Structure 1
Amino acid sequence: MLATAERWILRGLEAILVILLAGMVVMVFGNVVLRYAFNSGIDLSEELSRYFFVWLTYIGAVVVMRENGHLGVDTLVGAIGPRGRLICMILSDAIILACCVMLLDGTWSQHEINATAVAPVTGLSMGYVYGVLYFAGIGVGLITLGRLIRALTGRLGPYELAEFAGDYSGNPSHNLKGHLE
């Protein structure tokens, strides 16, 4: 049940990413055509495409975190044994959690300023733009916390430690068939 809900959430986030990217492409391409063909442009699209990019980046960070796709020092971690990998994973996850806490604290501290500031063209509250940091901090934090708890309690999936070292061959969700189902 949980795996099905998780799969739907990830697919929903991926759909949002596709919509944001498509919106960016349409707005930027449209502005380029208008600028060079008609010597005009739409200011709204320039500002919105930047905000779409911010949201795309942070929502994408959560999706990539769930898929264990962030950058890592695979050569170093792959060279040490399973016990060393586990220790590195626990330390890494503790640092990530600390960063998530700092991100959320900083976003909360800036919330009032961002909520009252408005974008110059759209008039949107900047709270909508930077509000994605709440989502990113909580999303990455929960994913990391779950993995850290599994690591500390010995319930880590056999493929998770391998993925931490850069080996993605053991997880069935990373093959093409797993993505099409």
Structure 2
Amino acid sequence: MSFFKKCYDNFEEYVCAGLVFLMIFCLVLQVVMRIFTGSSFAWTEELSRYSFLWAVFVGAALAVKRGGHVRITAQFGRLGVKARLFFRVLGDAVWIAFNIYFITVCWETIQEGLEYPEISPTLGVVKGHVEMIIPFCFLLVSWRIVEQYWKHWRAGTLAGLVNYEENPQ
């Protein structure tokens, strides 16, 4: 497996692991400093908060990629495979449409935040830059949904998306 393919296939895992490590490092540093000096670095709390926020949104894309997000499918259990697949595609199309709408709304809000920047108190970064993770991850979620269909279509296993015995999603 090439380096770039491995990075692409495991992007969410690497980013989430790095962000969780950064968050834990900041929190441990904060605790150690409070124990030994009685005070702490102010930036560790803010950086751990931002890394947690980013890890949550990247983790949502990871859940979609692995098929681990919540789907309510009991109402389709008695339908045939084609009908279940139809409703799955319909549901995912609505989900992607919502994501695209949300991305546009977020982007407008972030542009305003960059035009009139709010600076974080300890790190001194523009909060609009930190908040860019939100539309990026909604786009990543949409991409992973489409990618899942593409992979199954190429393999000829679209029915596997809704066949609960073979693919418990």
2:139 alignment partner AA: I
Gapped regions of structure 1 (runs ≥ 5): 169-181
Report the CA distance between 1:121 and its aligned residue: 1.0
Q: TM-score, normalised by structure 2?
A: 0.80
Is 1:86–1:161's contact at 8 Å kept on the other side of the alignment?
A: yes
Q: Which residue number in structure 2 is paired with residue 84 of structure 1?
A: 83
Q: Secondary structure, in 3 states, of the residue corresponding to 1:162?
A: coil
Q: Which residue number in structure 1 is paired with residue 51 of structure 2?
A: 52
Gapped regions of structure 2 (runs ≥ 5): none
Note if 1:135 corresponds to 2:136. Answer: yes
* Segment drifting more, 45-54 vs 6-15: 6-15
1:60-80 deviation digits (Å, cap 9, x = unpaired) = 111221111101124444454
1:55 alignment partner AA: W
- C-alpha separation in 1, matches of 2:106 and 2:32: 37
Aligned residues: 167
Q: TM-score, normalised by structure 1?
A: 0.75
Q: Secondary structure, in 3 states, of the residue corresponding to 1:138?
A: helix
Identity %: 21
Report the CA distance between 1:152 and its aligned residue: 9.4
Q: Which residue number in structure 1 is paired with residue 29 of structure 2?
A: 30
Is 1:93–1:148's contact at 8 Å kept on the other side of the alignment?
A: no
Report the CA distance between 1:45 and its aligned residue: 0.6
- C-alpha separation in 1, matches of 2:159 and 2:91: 18
- C-alpha separation in 2, matches of 1:118 and 1:10: 35
Q: Secondary structure, in 3 states, of the residue corresponding to 1:139?
A: helix
Note if 1:10 corresponds to 2:9. Answer: yes
Q: Which residue number in structure 2 is paired with residue 111 of structure 1?
A: 110
1:21-64 deviation digits (Å, cap 9, x = unpaired) = 01111111221232344321111010001110111111111122
Q: Calculate the aligned-residue CA RMSD, in Å.
A: 3.2
1:79-136 deviation digits (Å, cap 9, x = unpaired) = 5431232122112112211221122111211122332221111111112211112321
Tell me: CA distance 1:158–1:84, structure 2 relative to 1, closer, same or farther (3 Å): closer
Tell me: CA distance 1:160–1:8, structure 2 relative to 1, closer, same or farther (3 Å): farther
Q: Which residue number in structure 2 is paired with residue 157 of structure 1?
A: 158
Report the CA distance between 1:137 and its aligned residue: 2.1
Q: Which residue number in structure 2 is paired with residue 21 of structure 1?
A: 20
Is 2:84–2:162's contact at 8 Å kept on the other side of the alignment?
A: yes
Is 2:27–2:45's contact at 8 Å kept on the other side of the alignment?
A: yes
Is 1:75–1:165's contact at 8 Å kept on the other side of the alignment?
A: no
Is 1:85–1:165's contact at 8 Å kept on the other side of the alignment?
A: no
